[in-house]
Amino acid sequence: MKDTLRVIVLKGATELGKQVNYELQKIRKEKKSYIVPIVQSRFTNGEGKVVITETIRKKDVYLLVDISNYSCTYPMFDYVNHYSPDEYFQDVKRVISAMMGHASSITVIMPLLYASRQHRRKGRESLDCAMALQELQALGVDDIVTFDVHDPNIQNAVPNMAFENFYPTHTIISSFIERESLDYQELLVVSPDTGAMDRARYYADILETDVGMFYKRRDLSKVVDGKNPIVAHEYLGKDVNGKTVLVVDDMIASGDSILEVSMELKKRGAKKIYLVATFALFTAGIKRFEQYYKDGYFDCIYATNLCYVPKEILQQEWFVAVDCASFVAEIIDTLNKHESISPLMNGKKEIIERIRNKKMKSS
């Protein structure tokens, strides 16, 4: 096969990029680096610039970006400014522009999809995610690779561009069942709201257990921080008393909702509570999580390394970072070889077999 694979890693995704490069070397049994060096700089007025320092002519380029990494900073007007998702997205477009049409194909790997929560319109508001995808399509991007997107229907905004939405469910469950001693007869999966119900059902299907759901009852007469405040969490489903409960969602932002759900579960007699998410953003810090853990409202949080997690959190005894670098590398390798990605979309059979073997050993 021709040597066509190149990976460009934007600032903020450096650590994940190094791991993905290492996994690609293992897959292809080669020692050479696939990463193309770039200079990603900022002027002191905040404007950006990108220079690609190696040829990418006739190469299949995979552009890796983490829009959530707020740890990256630059000086602007004599103060320190942190990168925002908007700035990362602008740099994605700068990289594509710097290619000058020389690449054979361009695939943007954006695990946390830019503006994914702004995916539908309610009244006079912007459709940021749809507009962003259409911008990338207009710039010549051939494929978008993302993970556990907030609403998969957003791909309808770009019907002529490939849109691959992967789920790290099997990777997360593999880590979970290896680390935890479980009584599968007492296991229950719970969705924190109606929107996450399909995800919860999928987890429950793989773990061969029942599923429950919380319904967020909101005060529709008020708007606080852009949304209607939650009045109560109403539970629908099997009794959680004495159960080990997995609460699964796509992301943990401030954590208010999932922590309140964990408290409600504990009040209802749940024995152990695990919080599972693809993306753990902790936008309001971790003090509340530390307190809830100390008070026994949850036992552990499982989340992937597909988005930035500070060292302070990685060192917490209640947090487990599930490594998805090999999964990303497999996706890149498969796409570059023009092979079917269907096997990567569904590892369900293998994980179910592993769980059944564990059940047999424990019985």
> Above pLDDT 70, what percent of the chain?
98
Specify the pLDDT at position 87: 97
Question: Strand (E) positions, 206-243?
Answer: 210-218, 230-236
Q: Would you kindly state where each structural domain of the chain is located, as residue ranges?
A: 5-166+324-342, 169-323
**Distance in angstroms (rounded) separating the CA atoms of residues 199 and 190:** 10
pLDDT in tens, 86-118: 999 999 999 999 999 999 999 999 999 999 988
With tokens 């159960």, the residue in question is 243
With bands split at pLDDT 50, 70 and 90, how would you rate the model's confidence at 182?
A: confident
Specify the pLDDT at position 184: 87
Domain 5-166+324-342: state its class.
alpha beta
pLDDT in tens, 226-252: 677 777 778 999 999 999 999 999 999
Specify the pLDDT at position 347: 65
Residues in Cβ contact with 360 at an 8 Å cutoff, skipping those fewer than 6 apart: none
Residues in Cβ contact with 31 at an 8 Å cutoff, skipping those fewer than 6 apart: 25
What integer is the mean pLDDT of 269-286? 97
Q: Do domains 5-166+324-342 and 169-323 have the same CATH topology?
A: yes
Whether residue 1 is predicted with pLDDT greater than 60 in this model: the reply is: no
**Distance in angstroms (rounded) separating the CA atoms of residues 50 and 53:** 10
Query: Can you spell out the DSSP letters for 295-319?
Result: TTS-SEEEEESSS---HHHHT-TTE
The residue type found at 202 is Y
pLDDT in tens, 329-361: 999 999 999 999 988 876 667 777 877 777 777
With bands split at pLDDT 50, 70 and 90, how would you rate the model's confidence at 219?
A: confident
**Distance in angstroms (rounded) separating the CA atoms of residues 149 and 30:** 32
The residue type found at 109 is I
Domain 169-323 has CATH 3.20.20.70: no
- In 3D space, the residue among 38, 44, 47, 43 whose CA is nearest the CA of residue 65 turns out to be 38
Distance of CA 220 to the CA centre of its chain: 30
- In 3D space, the residue among 341, 305, 291, 19 whose CA is nearest the CA of residue 166 turns out to be 341
Specify the pLDDT at position 99: 96
Of the candidate ranges 133-137, 201-205, 216-220, the one whose mean pLDDT is the lowest: 216-220
pLDDT in tens, 320-331: 999 999 999 999
Q: What are phi and psi of 74, to 5 degrees?
A: -155, 150
Query: Can you spell out the DSSP letters for 40-106?
Result: EEE-TTS-EEEEE-S--TT-EEEEE--TT-TT-EEEETTEEEE--HHHHHHHHHHHHHHHTT-SSEE
With bands split at pLDDT 50, 70 and 90, how would you rate the model's confidence at 303?
A: very high
The mean pLDDT value of the chain amounts to 93
With bands split at pLDDT 50, 70 and 90, how would you rate the model's confidence at 222?
A: confident
